[in-house]
Amino acid sequence: MKDKLWDHIARVRALSPLVHNVTNFVAMNNTANAVLAVGASPVMSHARSEVEAMVGICGAVVVNIGTLDEYWAGTMLRAAGEAGRLGRPWVFDPVGAGATPYRDGVSAELLALRPTVIRGNASEIMALTRTNTTVTKGVDSTAASTEATEAARRLSRDFGSVVCVSGGTDVIVAGELTVSVHNGSTLMTRVTGLGCSASAVIGAFVATGGDTLETVTAATALFAVCGEIAAEGVSGPGSLQAGLLDKLHNITATEFADRLRIA
């Protein structure tokens, strides 16, 4: 698969797909910038008066529950439902799943709509399968991504989704298949909303069609490799946020191939 990943990156730049995001307030700006930096075009919108119309003009939908409330949750369910009806891929980012019963209830409703892709940290993925018996610590994971592989397999089997568990190693599961991306930087965990940005970038990639395991892996690898390169040149998380966007925009095929470590 390794040799095909750059083709997907080039394809996003060429097609510039439109991605509809119903996402959280914290990460909206850097999420939109990440989608632009990889060459795609973001739309952020949540009004019930236009949700189906907006889904209809977009190539993929991203639903992120980071700052959900009762109104937004209704929009999320309608956006996901409309994506399903139209056969458009959609990505579910279960931010903070496990932190409160309300989050878990909305997550269960969204899961029942069978997301094309689920991306979260290990705590969140484990919370979705109720296999995590520890208390989730807000929106940051208390478990390593590799601990969540079994939960990811179960989610993939139960809901037909490709599941991406972010962490020191990013683990991507599609049914019986598993891919591991060994890029990234621990400094990325000190910038808010990078997981949200990764989910939106995955949305841009699955919008272009092609095998979902491949496009999710390409998006995940691109994000991790760019974060790794950017982190080397900076003195802290503030500069990393800008440097990551720069690198997502200007990375070359050679830079990508030289860094990529997947298995």
Min dist. Cβ of residue 142 to a second copy (A):
10
Spatial separation of the C-alpha atoms in residues 58 and 20, rounded to whole Å: 6
Annotate 56-83 with DSSP letters as a single string.
HH-SEEEEE-TT--HHHHHHHHHHHHHH
Task: Mark residues 18-37: x for contact with a second copy by CB under 8 A, - for none.
Answer: x-----xxxxxxx-xx--xx
Q: Contact between 167 and a second copy (CB under 8 A)?
A: no
Task: Burial-class residue 15 by CB neighbours within 10 Å (0-12, 13-18, 19+).
Answer: middle
Q: Contact between 224 and a second copy (CB under 8 A)?
A: no
The only residue of 4, 112, 175, 236 in contact with a second copy, by rule CB under 8 A: 236
- Looking at the Cβ atoms of 180 and 189, the one nearer to a second copy is 189
- Looking at the Cβ atoms of 48 and 85, the one nearer to a second copy is 48
- Looking at the Cβ atoms of 1 and 53, the one nearer to a second copy is 53
For residue 113, what is the DSSP state? Answer: T
- Report how far apart, in Å, the C-alpha atoms of 21 and of each of 54, 153, 204, 225 are: 10, 26, 10, 24
Q: Contact between 239 and a second copy (CB under 8 A)?
A: yes
Spatial separation of the C-alpha atoms in residues 130 and 91, rounded to whole Å: 20
Q: Contact between 192 and a second copy (CB under 8 A)?
A: yes
Report the site for a second copy in 59-78 (rule: CB under 8 A): 66-71
